Structure 1
Amino acid sequence: MNTNQHKVYQHIADTLNLSTPASDINVVQTPTYLKEDLATADYITGVIAAFGASLEEIGELRGLPKQSVTVDRRHATMSLNDPAYHYLNGTLILGGEIEVPVNSIQQSKDGQWMCMNGAYPHLRDGILNYFDSANNYQSLSDQVAKVDIAKIEADFEEQGLCMAPLYTPEQWLAHPQGQAMAKHPLVLVDQQGDAKSKKLTQAKHRPLEGLKIIDVTHVVAGPWSTRQLAEYGADVISVRNPEFPFLYPVIFEQSYGKKQIQLDLKQQQHKEKFTELLKDADALVWGYGPNSLERLGFDQKTLMEINPNLVVTQISAYGPTGPWSKRKGWEQLAQTCTGMTHIASQGRDQYHLVGALVLDFSTGFLAAIGTISALIQREKKGGFWNVETMLARSAMELLSLDAQKEEVVPISMADMREYLIDQTSESGSVFTRITPYVQLSETPAYCQTGPSVMGAHDPVKTTWSDEPAGNGAITHRPSEVVNRGLFGFIPGYGHEDIMLR
């Protein structure tokens, strides 16, 4: 590992009691494709290296042989644009419905810049109604320019809308929320109680086989974390509210290896089904807004009564403390307020986000690492465990690294041939995606099933599998579709953020 990668890896390892020395991780130092003056490639490489270490350690704890862990730096960096390399029968799936005018960086009346996000219809409509604006960029810019940023910020928080002021890194560290977050490690882990009623079983084929994970998340970090768990054997049941909007291309891409059911947790019958799943679950990964679990009647006391050995992993924008702890957030907002956007925009004539969803995907990996670490500690100490990862805290860790000038090599078809795999679905369609990001020497990663749409599985009949990991037979293969050609492939230096054009 280089210095930056080692710093990130060691921070995570020290926080989560991972015992694998950094020197034991094999890192292939391939070049980045991102042009921004940030140590993005090294940051995500260090994070994924820690993910690999956590997989190796829980696998060994469960009786698997000791394994070597390999991470390819360029491959790791491609994870930050993963949905942009997902194809159905050779055609790019990523759509344009999330490219809307309200997802933009705008200037207020008092000259301050800010970023807004209205990717969901109710957020988009709320922003347009607030500014009395038509749904186009120029109209919105004209209306935003009539209101001071302090009023916008206060009103948006009250109305549950999403924005963040644009700060430099120094301004963010001086901000009360930045100061609150600086006190937290990358991953928060907390034990409650010492019940020892649930133990890990022996593994036969993969590190996470037989682990029961409930996924109640939405784009992007949450479903990404549970897809990573599924890649290495976990039995993942994804629960989605049928009334909640979802961004199809991203959610679909992150559904590999999962059972997809729909439950409305405000309905008693659906709540009873959810409680039934919780009783036998190893972990609940929750990705909705602050206090949403509690509002649905699942506070910590209730969860501990249902399952005293549950791991509850939550993903937030701004963490559990500070004046913004109750705010909703998105990747774009966290980039903007922490100073990433300021740095990425140097030398440009307008503000610009990093050409990748750095925080969503890295925070998703961190949530997976935290979940695995808590399960390892539960095996030793018992108890109920809370885990939390935060988009803005991920940004702060990245910004703490020294960016080194290096040759930047744009993404090309050679990368598609190197890193893409094919997997045939039950319908016979061929899906093409990036190969799993951690290479384990003895237990290769794969997803037992291909992607599926929201609600594809019967919520009444769906339950935990007896053999969720299968027999160890890999379900994907080197891509043949790539050699025939990919429709919609975009070469270059990453995407100018898939939600802001």
Structure 2
Amino acid sequence: MAGLQPGLSSDPDRIALPSRVPLPARTRTAELAEDATAALALAIDGLPTRQERRGPIDLDPERIGASYRSAALFRRDGEPPSVWDPLSGFFRARDGWVRTHANYPWHAESLARTLGLSGTRTRDAAAEAIADWPARELERAAFAAGGLAVAVRTAASWAAERGRAWPPPAIRLRPVGDARPWSGGTAAAPLAGLRVLDFTRVIAGPVGTRVLASLGADVLRVDAPHRPEPLWQWLDTGEGKRSALLDLASADGRRILTELLAGADVVVTGARPGALARFGLEPEQLAERRPELIHARVRAWGADPDRATHPGGDGASPWSDRRGFDSLVQAATGIAVAEGSGGRAAASGADVTPGTLPAQALDHSAGALLAAGIIALLGAGRGGTVEATLEGFAGLLLGAPLLAPTELSEIGDPDRLAGPGSVDGPLGTVAIARPAYQAAGVPDPGPWAGRQFGEDRPAWRDGAAGG
């Protein structure tokens, strides 16, 4: 283990890793992947049903690297997915760079409206429009309109802007209630009998709940009917789960939600703070309703030192209230500059072309630690809250010295990562990278053929709840 210390790790000497995870980057991305996966493995081995397996834990660096790069390795009928919308990516603004995210139609619509685009939304049209905007002005306008764009900053400028809020904790546990040791599960399915209600999408939350499903939990993902998930994205992290569509704004939807919550052991959410208050799904609301429940949340940005105004003093909304994704956090915090062209000049704020990590490593690490936190609370027999913050994982990377370009050869070539297995199913021939870690003694289900998104009833496996 490398010592970036994402939290929750104990007994690191039990971890055996034969070589570095092949995720080459100037920031210590490979080490973050190693430490996050190790923390997850140690948490799983802390469950009561695994008392007899407290020996060395072997990690597979190739498997970890492939899992982190699952979007790049995914294939359906031999074809890669269309991961990025034309309006997503880095664009040069009038006074710097911005990073946009428009992979969901509603975000693309908001950004296009902000930019004044009509008709065909091409990358060239977006580039032309963005070139006229000051970067931070576009950032404020896009967020205000419900879109997603951030100005690319250096690590130093982001730290100064965030002040005492930087860096936020990557992972935080708040146990509540009396200890009630987890009594479910078996050696082969340590979380059998656990009910997990999953309201997350994209990568971090789904990666975390996939871990729980792999250990035998009944994971039911719930999405709004009018907010579909790209099929490839669901297939990439949906293994072992069921998926239902439910309109929480309707009377019937609220009734079913109440029934599902009554039977749930764990609720996992990924919306920005306050966004789910009208459905009673904020941590404080759930704790008041059911103190014994475990609530896990992924958030993009940490808390602000002064919620009345934006830390930069420009009157914009606090960062903690904003939507965000891994790619946007990389851009805002200085990772994009550190990974950009220009070598060490990037760290000093020289004008460089921004770059990216070799994987959505903030997301994958947050997912691993989110699952580890849930498992830690279960092992302790406690309810409470687990919170993973992408900005905090960025802080772990930026708080460690950058690797010199000459050191990258030691990490390896990402194109040589072990690829996923392929399997034929009703959705074609699907190739999906395996999860980063499978606990010894827990059957690895092998390649997943997949199932359609939203095809299940909103009910637990035993039929309780739902209509």
TM-score (norm 1): 0.80
Aligned CA distance change for structure 1 residues 370 and 447 (closer, same or farther; 3 Å): farther
Give the C-alpha shift of residue 265 in structure 1: 0.8
Match for 1:353: what amino acid? T
Give the C-alpha shift of residue 29 in structure 1: 0.9
Give the C-alpha shift of residue 310 in structure 1: 0.8
Alpha carbons 1:257, 1:450 under 8 Å: kept: no
Aligned to 1:127: 111
Aligned to 2:206: 223
Tell me the distance in 1 between the aligned counterparts of 2:165 and 2:69.
30
Give 1:14-413 correspondences, 5 Å limit.
Answer: 18=9, 20-30=10-20, 32-34=22-24, 36-58=25-47, 60=48, 65-88=53-76, 91-92=78-79, 94-96=80-82, 98-109=83-94, 111-134=95-118, 135-176=121-162, 179-182=164-167, 184-192=168-176, 194=177, 199-300=182-283, 302-322=285-305, 323-347=318-342, 350-377=353-380, 379=381, 382=382, 384-404=383-403, 405-407=407-409, 408-411=411-414
Give the C-alpha shift of residue 403 in structure 1: 4.2
Give 1:482-497 correspondences, 5 Å limit.
Answer: none
Greater shift, 217-226 or 202-211, is seen at 202-211
Match for 2:93: what amino acid? S
Tell me the distance in 2 between the aligned counterparts of 1:165 and 1:302.
34
Tell me the distance in 1 between the aligned counterparts of 2:99 and 2:256.
39
| SS of the residue 1:325 aligns to | helix
Tell me the distance in 2 between the aligned counterparts of 1:168 and 1:141.
22
| Count of residue pairs the alignment pairs up | 437
Greater shift, 444-453 or 234-243, is seen at 444-453
Give the C-alpha shift of residue 311 in structure 1: 0.8
| SS of the residue 2:435 aligns to | coil
Give the C-alpha shift of residue 195 in structure 1: 5.4
Tell me the distance in 1 between the aligned counterparts of 2:89 and 2:447.
38
Tell me the distance in 2 between the aligned counterparts of 1:208 and 1:402.
38
Tell me the distance in 1 between the aligned counterparts of 2:417 and 2:270.
35
Tell me the distance in 2 between the aligned counterparts of 1:253 and 1:62.
28
Aligned to 1:463: 460
Give the C-alpha shift of residue 227 in structure 1: 1.0
| SS of the residue 2:7 aligns to | helix
Alpha carbons 1:95, 1:249 under 8 Å: kept: yes
Tell me the distance in 1 between the aligned counterparts of 2:21 and 2:90.
30
Alpha carbons 1:319, 1:388 under 8 Å: kept: no
Give the C-alpha shift of residue 357 in structure 1: 1.3
Tell me the distance in 1 between the aligned counterparts of 2:100 and 2:415.
32
Tell me the distance in 2 between the aligned counterparts of 1:152 and 1:429.
41
Alpha carbons 1:69, 1:439 under 8 Å: kept: no
Match for 1:174: what amino acid? A
CA distances 1:130-174 after superposition (whole Å, capped 9, x unpaired): 121351223222222323234323222322221111111111211
Aligned to 1:486: none
For structure 1, list consecutive stretches of 5 or more residues without a partner in the other structure. Answer: 467-501
| SS of the residue 1:261 aligns to | strand
Alpha carbons 1:312, 1:385 under 8 Å: kept: yes
Tell me the distance in 2 between the aligned counterparts of 1:412 and 1:145.
34
| SS of the residue 1:292 aligns to | coil
Give the C-alpha shift of residue 64 in structure 1: 5.5
Greater shift, 69-78 or 445-454, is seen at 445-454
Alpha carbons 1:232, 1:447 under 8 Å: kept: no
Aligned to 2:347: none
Give 1:443-462 correspondences, 5 Å limit.
Answer: 443-446=442-445, 450-459=449-458, 462=459
Tell me the distance in 1 between the aligned counterparts of 2:128 and 2:421.
46
Give the C-alpha shift of residue 45 in structure 1: 0.8
Tell me the distance in 2 between the aligned counterparts of 1:104 and 1:435.
27
CA distances 1:436-477 after superposition (whole Å, capped 9, x unpaired): 322433334437975222211123xx31349xxxxxxxxxxx
CA distances 1:241-282 after superposition (whole Å, capped 9, x unpaired): 111132221122211101111111111212221221212222
Alpha carbons 1:42, 1:73 under 8 Å: kept: no
Tell me the distance in 2 between the aligned counterparts of 1:241 and 1:313.
19
Aligned CA distance change for structure 1 residues 326 and 51 (closer, same or farther; 3 Å): same
Match for 2:138: what amino acid? I
Greater shift, 258-267 or 247-256, is seen at 247-256
